[in-house]
Structures are given as C-alpha cells and as structure tokens.
Structure 1
Amino acid sequence: MHVQQVQPQAVARRRLLARRDVRLLTYLLFGLVLPVIVWNAIMRPTIELPYWHNTVYTLFVATFASWYALDRLRQYAKARQLSYVVPVNLFAFGAMLGFIGLARIPYSISLFLLGMAATLATSYLVVAKTRHARRPQIVVPGGRVEELLLRPSFIAAPPLAELERQVAHGRIDGAIIADLHFDHAPEWERLFANAALKGIPVYHFRQIMELQTGQVRIDHLAENDLGSLIPNLPYMTAKRLFDIVSVIALSPLLLVLLTLTALAIRLDSKGSILFFQQRMGFRGKPFRMVKFRTMREREIVETADGRRDDAMTRDDDDRITRIGRFLRKTRLDELPQAWNVLGGDMSWIGPRPEAIELSEWYESEIPFYSYRHIVRPGITGWAQVNQGHVTDLNSVNAKLRYDFYYVKNISLWLDILIALKTVRVIFGGLGAR
C-alpha cells in the first residue's frame, strides 16, 4: 500500500469537514435559521405567535434528530449515507408531525414544510460533501499495515524525529495507525505511548480494516479477541423487549399481509402454504423456523449429503415457484417468522439462522463458527444486506466475518443501519441476501 503525501491545504479542508460541530452548525443555519428568516419575512404578519413558536421548536428537534442520526450512522462500515438521507429525514419530520397531531399542538404547516425541505436539501449536500472527508490518518510502516485499503486520508508517516516533534507540540489533528502486534523499535513504541497521553488516537490496523470492510477477522481466538466480541448485554435485553412490543403493535398489519400472501401461494401452486425447518438458534439451541413456501415440494434423499444439498438455496434455483420468486425478492416469505420473534427464538435483526445440516457442516469445517450463536438469529442481518447467497466454505467464511462484526458492534444504530439497508435491498430489487 502506497500512502500519499497530502498538501497542507487539502489537510485543512478535510479537517474542517470532519468536525461534527461544523456539520451541526451547517444544519442549524441552513436547515432551520435561514428558512425561518425567509418564511418570517414573507408570512410573519399572517400567523399568531404561539403557532410560530411551536413550529420553530418542532423544526429544531427534527433538524437536530436528522443530523444526529446521519452522524451516528457514518461511524459504521458500509454506510451508504446518501441512500439514507431521505428515509432518515422523513422519519424525523414524520415523527414530529405525528407528535404534533397527537398532542393537538397548533402549528404552521407552510413553515413546517419549508423547514423540512431545507433540512432535507442541507442533509443531502452536507453528506455528499463530507462522506469521504476524514481527519488525516498517519500510517506507520511495519507489520501488516499493507493489508489496509488505500484511502485519501492516509498520510505516510514522516521520519520519527519529525513525528515526535508534531506529537510533542500537539500539531496532529487526526490519528496514528500501526500494526501494534509488530515488533516496532523502542522509539516507536515510546511515540505511540506519548501520542495516546496527548489524546491522539492510536489505532491497531485491524480496527481500521473492520471499518473499511464491515468484517471482523479472527485467526486465533485469543482471550482479548473473545472479550472484544462479547455482545452488548444491556442492549440485547432492551432489544428483546422491543421485539415483543413491535410484533404486538404490528399484528393488525401482519395479519392482513399474511392472509393475502397465503392466498397467493394457494392459487399459484400445489402444496402447503407454510414451510417449517429446523434451524440452529440462540446459544446453539435448535428451533423450528416457519416461513412461507417459495419452492415446489420435492423428494429429499435421506442421507447427510442429500439433506445438506436440499438445505442450500442457490441463485436462480429452479425449485422456486413464480410467486415464490416475488416473495423472496420482497422478503414477504419471511413474514411468518414474526411468530418466531414473539416466541424468543429469533429477533428482527441478527445473524441469519442456518439449517441444522448446514450449521453442523460449517462447524466441522470452520473454527469459531458456533460463536455466531451468541446473539439471537434474525429475519435480516448484517451479512444478508452485504452479501448474497452462500453455499461454499469460502463464502461462509466471509459471511462469518460479517456476523462477528455485528456481534462486536451490536447497538441500536447498527440495527437502524441494517434496517435501512434492508429497505434498500427490497425496493432496489436485489432480493433475498
């Protein structure tokens, strides 16, 4: 990997764009203050003061929420921020509009719509301008840093004496990246320690690779690796509560969709409407997963290889029915799994559960495979929105690294990112992943 020498002017521009306070100020100025001033100059005499105050307050909350959500999502790998500008803004402003309606708060619809349009435009322009802007990252040679993917923000480390002066005088507004497992000279080890004491982030190259790829690679399950993959237990408890409440709240809509889909399957092909299969679940306990049937019923060879081949679904599988192909593309075939979610066998989001035959095969061939079962399996997940169907061991290895990334970083914001990616997959016509 050949990192570049960046001109001071380019570094200064990236430094400014990477600052959260600058982005927030831009949102508030162009998404809130400017439209309020413009609207006030045109419409102010026609509205009572309480209406104006209420609208400005709600616009502030929605604008701040839009900035905050997009800012949090950018911290994760593979966050295609431009794709999420519209849904994030619509959700933030829609939530505030719903609150206004439920609370019967008087407000100005024209001012609210102007503020929403201005914030949406500001969000798009800020994200487009800053999605590749990062603070300079000084790459120290040695070890496996060559495995990093080249980025414009990477800067080749200057000579040791110069870098020591920059650290001592606080002239580094960025981070230092190195292979911290490499046997660096004592002078470099001392520099890493001094930089950390000065508040300068010092990252092991693996941390940066995870942000680049969205995967956690494990070569040896050393104690520190295992500890770093223990999931966020308080969040998992809260997530379980959300799963129960959301299934109950969505049950009227789910019943309508389940009925219509069942009728379509019945009219399309012979056979049962539902498909049941034993899957490997939370903490390695098998459970009976249910989904809509999308394939023709067929004879299964009662051998280990036959059951394993039957459990695999390949792209353009000729067993898929006409309506089944549509259901798989729109994910409607997964709707009955809301029952599994309610029962605690699954969550809305998590590593996809594998058939027992496949799971046992993968566990026998791939080290640490069973560790993915430390969280509840999901209807959709990080690997599913980043990778297609997998059938060979190499692809399963890549999928496992995605699963480990999810386990390590499990949080509300990562789940939101997966939900947004799932919507993009469905409406983008990419189908099941």
Structure 2
Amino acid sequence: MSPNLKTSTSLIAVLALAGALGVAWWVQRPPATATTKSAAAAQPGVAGGAPARAAVVVETAPVRRQAVADDVEAVGSLRSRQGTVVRAEVAGRVVQIGFRDGQKVVRGQFLVQLDDRLQQAQLQQAQAELSIAQANHRRNTELVAQGFISQRGLDESAAAVKVAQAKAELARATAARLRVLAPFDGVAGLRNISVGDYLKDGADIVNLEDMNAMYVDFRLPERWQARVRPGQSARVQVEALPERAFAAVVQAVDPQIDANGRSLIVRGCIDNRRLQLRPGMFARVAARLGDDRAALMIPEQAVVSQGGRQSVYRLVKAEGPEGTPAWRGERVDVQTGVRLAGLVEIVQGLAEGERVVTAGQQRIQGDGALLRVADTSAAATPAAPAASSAAVAWAETLPGPSPCGAAPAR
C-alpha cells in the first residue's frame, strides 16, 4: 500500500468518528423548555442568550469637610544650646581638679589647675621690675623739675615703666592660662584626666553642656520653605520618653537649601530646665505650619493610584431595571493634600457631600458600571485624629521665663 493511500484512509476514519460523536450529542441533548426560554427573554440586557452583567457590590463613604491642621512630620536630633570640649591651652602637669563627673558648674568656676610655679616666678620677677621702673620714673620727674636732668631722661624712664607693665601683664596672662575655668553655666561630663597627668596643649579635659534649653535640628522638603518661619510651634517626641511630648519653638531656618537632599534645615528650641532631654537623642518632630483650616477628607483606601494617576470612583445616580433608582460608578481624577491617620485631603476633583467607593474598586469594569451599595450609613468616615494623642501627655511647663523665649500655643 502506498503512503498517500494510508494518509487518505486515516483522514476518512477521523472524520467519520467526529461525525458519529456529533450525531450522538444531538440525539441525547435535553430539549429546551418553555420556562427556560421565557426566563432568558425576561433578563434585561440579554442579547443572543448572553447573561447580563450583575451589579457590583461596593462600600462607600461621604466626602466630609472638617478642620485639619497643617502639620508636617520629620525626624531630627537634639543638641544642647551650648556645648564644648574644655581643652588645655598650654602644656602642663595637672596638680588640682575642681569638679566631679556630671556636676553642674557655673560660668567662671575653677575646673583644673596646671603646675604654674615657673609662671608665678616669672610674674613676680616682672612685678619687681615694674616697681623699680616706676620708682626711677618718679625720681626722674623730681630731677627734671629741679633742672638736674634733661627731658630725654624723663621720657626714657616713662618708656621703661610701660615696658615693665607689659612684661608683668604677659607673665600674668601666661600664669592664668594654666588655670582652666568654666566658659558658661552647664553640666560637666566625664573627665579624661587625673592629678599628675601631663597635658599637651589642646588636650581634652572634659565636655561641658548647657542643657537648660535643647535645640532640635530637623529637615523638611524644600517645598515648605515659604511656609516655615521663626516663632512657629512644633511637637517633639523621643524614644526614651514615648509617653511625653515636648513643645518646641522654631528659632531659625537655614537660608541655604541642602543640595544633596533638597531639604530645608530648621532649628527649634525646647525648654529643658528639668534636664529630661540629652544631646544626641533621636527625635520625631511634628511642625505646625499654620492655623487649622477646613478641608475635604475621604478615607485613604478610596484613592486608586495607577501610573502616576490618582483617582476615585464617585457614585452617580442612574436608572436601573424597570425605572428603579440605582448607582453607577464614575472614575474621577483627584489631587490629594495632607494625610492623616486613615484619611487623605482632596484638593481638587470632589465636592462636599458626594460619596466615593472605599472597597470593591477592583471589581468595577470601567465607567458607568452598575453598583450596589452595601453600606447605607452616612457615618462611614472615621473622625480626624486630634493634634496630640490622648495617650501622650505634654511635658510639664515650668514657671518663669522660658530659656527659648515665649512658649508656643498647644
């Protein structure tokens, strides 16, 4: 048998088998009843026996207008109002220490005495030379009046007095540099020296921090530079005291924008006379940039972000089957503003009182889809959170003038 004959025979067998299966299905299929035909005809939107698309069940919430504070959050670090490392100006051996670790000191308080015996001897020599020069000058003044010496001799003795005075002042200043004093009121840190140590010039002695007022330095995006100004209030929290909040006042704004992060550096001041805060702490800052204002707010889950586009599905009244009222979804692009806990501000795109879809957006197939609202309560939007949580207490305000100036309003 030739190959062509074998191929033709196989093809005829396959076609015969397919025909037999088709005839068997046609004979055994159930007949269409009148009830089925009438039900298909009664469905709205049926074309050629295809079922109509059912309404999508969604949850909604109203667009509400409520008071919102223009607060911007940032992170920063604390530093003391004044802080320095006390260092030795000249080399010398430590002979006396006048402070304890962690002690409060006042400006001008004695801290460390270096060996100054040589400098004191030089000072005494200079003072003796000054006494001799002054005595010679007084004697020459009398002799000039009597005509025994010329005016030149008097001038030379006057110059000798000035030279001796300068030598005495130099010796006194050199001896004073060996006595280290506190440059301002503060708290001494942990000392790095002991009696008998030989210190080179510039050697560290102890760090000194003025912590009555603390600075908090934080960064804000450059878009806020027109709205940040000195005198505004801020709320500061630290990890060490999570249940406390501290009031801060914006002291200054750096005139230069950081080119690396395009951020604005802001410095606030905190009254820390109770010494609860320490330099180097990590801080969370909520800066208030203005008074409370009325804003349109919706739940943040209502906003759909896709390809840089932010939109919501707005409910539009429509006519359902047999003239019954219904809802249809309309996708609207929106512009958002500040975000709170669970809420987002709508700057453009919606009006007060409209309702938006908060759940079920993924099942909506384009604009105009028929919707069925699952929630009928008008109170579906959570309330705006307060400026400060009830679980967080403000730090106690001390009497008397604040080291930062006027205290901000809370």
Please give the range of the TM-score, normalised by the shorter of the 2 chains.
Answer: under 0.3
Greater Cα radius of gyration, structure 1 or 2 = 2
Task: Provide TM-score, normalisation by structure 2.
Answer: 0.18
Of Structure 1 and Structure 2, the greater strand share is in 2
Normalising to structure 1: TM-score of the pair? Answer: 0.17
Give the number of the structure with larger relative contact order, counting CA–CA contacts within 8 Å between residues 6 or more apart. Answer: 2
Structure with more of its chain in helix, by fraction: 1
